[in-house]
């Protein structure tokens, strides 16, 4: 392509970067593949080497390419991300929750909180009783 084909409100480096991003998204350039050199891109588009470098930096900022010193630019492999666990996926069918089940859920939450508080209190009482017994034995 020549400079005449590059006509937009965007700077030249962004136009070149967008065009290369389209080639990467279209899988013309595969993940891990080496891209044409900075000099080749500059000559192909009729721009300076500095503009071509800016285009590659534009692609780097978008995590589409990775620079390898003294090797060039390579298409960044795309990670699919971890699969969602089955529990975090929404149910396939609507779940009807009525007011009674909401009230029951609130009651169970309050009951569990009270039960935990009672358990902590019983543990504290047992500890205090043990300390009193030890104190009585040591002082008597």
Q: For residue 60, what pLDDT is reported? A: 94
User: CA end-to-end span of the chain, whole Å?
Assistant: 101
The DSSP 8-state label assigned to residue 5 in this structure reads G
Length of the chain: 140
Q: For residue 83, what pLDDT is reported? A: 61
Average pLDDT over residues 124-130: 88
How many angstroms from the chain centroid is the CA of residue 56?
23
- Tally Cβ neighbours within 10 Å of residue 97: 9
47-62 confidence digits (pLDDT tens)? 999 999 999 999 999 9
**Partners of 65 in the β-ladder:** 75
Distance, CA of 77 to CA of 114 (rounded, Å):
52
Q: Which of 14-18, 64-68, 110-114 has the lowest mean pLDDT?
A: 110-114
Average pLDDT over residues 116-137: 88
pTM of model > 0.75: no
Distance, CA of 78 to CA of 84 (rounded, Å):
17
């Amino acid at each position: 392509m020549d400079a005449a084909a590059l006509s937009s409100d965007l700077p030249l480096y962004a136009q070149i970067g967008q065009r290369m991003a389209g080639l990467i998204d279209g899988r013309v350039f595969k993940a891990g593949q080496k891209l044409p050199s900075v000099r080749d891109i500059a000559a192909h588009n009729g721009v300076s080497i500095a503009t071509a470098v800016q285009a590659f930096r534009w692609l780097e900022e978008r995590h589409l390419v990775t620079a390898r010193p003294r090797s060039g630019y390579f298409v960044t492999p795309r990670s699919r991300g971890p699969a969602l666990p089955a529990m975090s996926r929404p149910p396939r069918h609507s779940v009807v929750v009525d007011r009674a089940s909401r009230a029951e859920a609130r009651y169970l939450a309050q009951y569990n909180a009270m039960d935990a508080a009672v358990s902590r209190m019983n543990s504290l009482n047992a500890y205090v009783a043990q300390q009193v017994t030890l104190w009585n034995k040591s002082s008597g």
